[in-house]
Structures are given as C-alpha cells and as structure tokens.
A = this chain, B = another copy of it.
C-alpha cells in the first residue's frame, strides 16, 4: 500500500506541496489560510509558508477579509490555474503510462474507490473545507 505512495512521490517530482494548495484553491474559491490548512491536514504555519511562496510566484493572491481584519482570503490566479493544469497534466501522463494496460472499467473503478477512500479518511479525521 505504501508502495503506491512512494512510487508516486518518486514519479511526481514537481512541487508536492504547492500543488495541493493550488488544487484546493482551484475548487473552493476564496478561503482563509486556516481553512486551507485544515483541508490539507497541515499545520497553519506550514500552510502559511506555502502560501507565501505561491504568492511570490504570483500563483495565489490574497485579499483582506472584509468581515475580519485579521484574516485574509486566498484565491488562485490565472497563472496559478495554468500551473496547476500543467502539473496535473504531467501527473496524468505518468498515470496513463503506468496504466496503459488497464481497461476503461478498471480505471474508473479505481478512481471511484480512491475518491471514496479519500472521503472516508477525511470524515474519519474531520478535515474538509468549510
């Protein structure tokens, strides 16, 4: 089981953390850092540093939260979407190469199971975006 993880990590060299942040932002609209950290199952401080890095690269932007001066709302930029799309494309290519011998049915089944497992694990520990 851990094998899959290790091999995927080895195959996906590019920015492991950044992509998680961008992915979450891409499908959730303006969010606070704390919510993001929660969704990623990471510490707020860690998430804060990632966001700062992405901000420097202009893949993410922050705006003051109109309802709370302490908080900031994050959103992905157009460049961020592009970057994410490229990263996903690269990963997909690897997966497609690995699963070249699979038939359509098995692929969708695996996908389905993984999504379900991710949801169940999220429920187990209570991490989700609000």
Category for how many chain A residues contact B: 35 or more
A99 (CB) vs chain B CBs: closest residue: B120
Query: A53-61, A64-72, A122-130: which one contacts chain B?
Result: A122-130
Kindly list chain B residues whose C-beta atoms are within 8 Å of the C-beta of A16: 2
A19 (CB) vs chain B CBs: closest residue: B2
* A55 smallest CB distance to B (angstroms): 21
* A109 smallest CB distance to B (angstroms): 7
Kindly list chain B residues whose C-beta atoms are within 8 Å of the C-beta of A5: 5, 8-9
Which residue numbers of A lie inside 8 Å of B, CB to CB?
Answer: 1-11, 16, 19-20, 23, 40-42, 91, 94, 97-99, 101-102, 106, 109-110, 113-114, 116-118, 120-125, 127
